[in-house]
Amino acid sequence: MKPLYHLAPVNDGGSLKAALIRKRQYFSKFLKNEFRQMKISLVLLVLLNICTFTANGQQDPQVSQHMFNHLMVNPGFAGNSGEINLMLLNRQQWVGFPGAPVTSVFQTDGALKLIGDRDGLGFTVVKDAIGYESNVTFGINYAYRFKLGSGHLGCGFSAGMMNKNLTPGWTATPGGDLVDGSDPSLPKQEVNGVLTDFGAGLFYRHQKYYLAISSTHLNQPSFDFEETGHYSLRRHYYLTGGYNKEMADDRFLVQPSFFVKSDGSTSQVDLDLLLRYNKRFWGGIGYRIKDAVVVFLGFEMLNGLKIGYSYDLNTSVISSYNTGSHELFVSYAVLLNKNRGQKTKSVRFL
């Protein structure tokens, strides 16, 4: 990308002092536009995604509280807890950055007896907006669950649809050529496309730990718009795991976890540590490598209501242009034929 303003050559015929002043003026003008270029970087990401070549950036929305939000990326989790779960999640990423991602999630799942004794069925709705792009995804998740060793394995499959909307609002930039309207790959008016999407995953849960692997956009769906525009979703891969470590004081429980995501060309790793107290309150810290430090807080009421919050403090170069990311979820679990007040030896991840 060329700078929005270019340094003008110095007139050799002028005095040295005048030449230095002119250089300083142009250089100052250039620096003032650095912030402007950062503001439009998200727009560039959107443009790269819709051009005819394949983009390398990850396309799935990002969440920090992955240990409470498995169903969004892994259908093998459906019915895992043996309860009926409902969750609402909202993430405001990079607050203060124009066009920053905003993600909202609704999901529900429960254990049923469709094929086996402990099948799982789930439903997810994800709305994700970034810059001029807005996506709404609906998915149905099924998991066939069976006992394996001392735990249970869920083998899941998801099928859904994504509605992708692009509302162009870019204009040519004075003094530069960021967008000049001549690129045939860029839409000149609002564009909508519907994609059929499939995913699969395995989720293994033991009393003391869990381990899961999954993939979204298995069929790498795509659609064409106007004459030369083309958009496609890359296949994404996820690997996650967590462990319940009981302390000498049984009121405390330590829960380390990891979350690895990749689209085959770029990868991201989250390392997190939660400390639970009295099986109802938790707090912790996480690190998204080369991106952010994350703080977690949450509690669970006796009636099955959970509220969790996380705050991301960026450690990358973008930290100067936002005030962090906020993520809040509210969930409710309906226990089936169980006494909610009964003490359990370990704590389930939702």
Is pLDDT at 205 greater than 90 in this prediction? yes
Task: Spell out the SS3 assignment of the chain.
Answer: CCCCCCCCCCCCCCCHHHHHHHHHHHHHHHHHHHHHHHHCHHHHHHHHHHCCCCCCCCCCCCCCCHHHCCCCCCHHHCCCCCCEEEEEEEEECCCCCCCCCEEEEEEEEEEECCCCCCEEEEEEEEEEEECCEEEEEEEEEEEEEEEECCEEEEEEEEEEEEEEEECCCCCCCCCCCCCCCCCCCCCCCCEEEEEEEEEEEEEEECCCEEEEEEEECCCCCEEEECCCEEEECCCEEEEEEEECEECCCCCEEEEEEEEEEECCCCEEEEEEEEEEECCCEEEEEEEECCCEEEEEEEEECCCCEEEEEEEEEECCHHHHHCCCEEEEEEEEEECCCCCCCCCCCCCCCC
Is pLDDT at 246 greater than 70 in this prediction? yes
Inter-residue contact 220 to 235 (CB < 8 Å)? yes
CB atoms within 10 A of CB 273: 15
pLDDT of residue 190: 81
Q: Is residue 155 part of a domain?
A: yes
Q: Is residue 2 part of a domain?
A: no
pLDDT of residue 314: 94
Q: What is the pLDDT of residues 38-91, one digit of tens each?
A: 444 434 334 334 333 333 356 899 999 999 999 999 999 999 888 899 999 999
**Structural domains in the chain (count):** 1
* pTM confidence score: 0.78
Q: What is the pLDDT of residues 264-309, one digit of tens each?
A: 889 999 999 999 999 899 999 999 999 999 999 999 998 889 999 9
Quick one: what percent of the chain has pLDDT higher than 90? 57
Lowest mean pLDDT among 13-22, 137-146, 215-224: 13-22
Q: Is residue 224 part of a domain?
A: yes
Task: Place 336 in a pLDDT band, splitting at 50, 70 and 90.
Answer: low
Inter-residue contact 175 to 5 (CB < 8 Å)? yes
Q: Is residue 4 part of a domain?
A: no
Lowest mean pLDDT among 15-24, 27-36, 168-177, 331-340: 27-36
CATH code for position 32: 2.40.160.40
Q: Is residue 233 part of a domain?
A: yes
Is pLDDT at 144 greater than 60 in this prediction? yes
Is pLDDT at 337 greater than 80 in this prediction? no
Query: What residues make up the domain containing 149?
Result: 19-334
Q: Is residue 7 part of a domain?
A: no
Is pLDDT at 343 greater than 60 in this prediction? no
Q: Is residue 11 part of a domain?
A: no
Task: Place 230 in a pLDDT band, splitting at 50, 70 and 90.
Answer: confident
- What value does the mean pLDDT take over residues 11-40? 47
- Higher local confidence (pLDDT), 192 or 195: 195
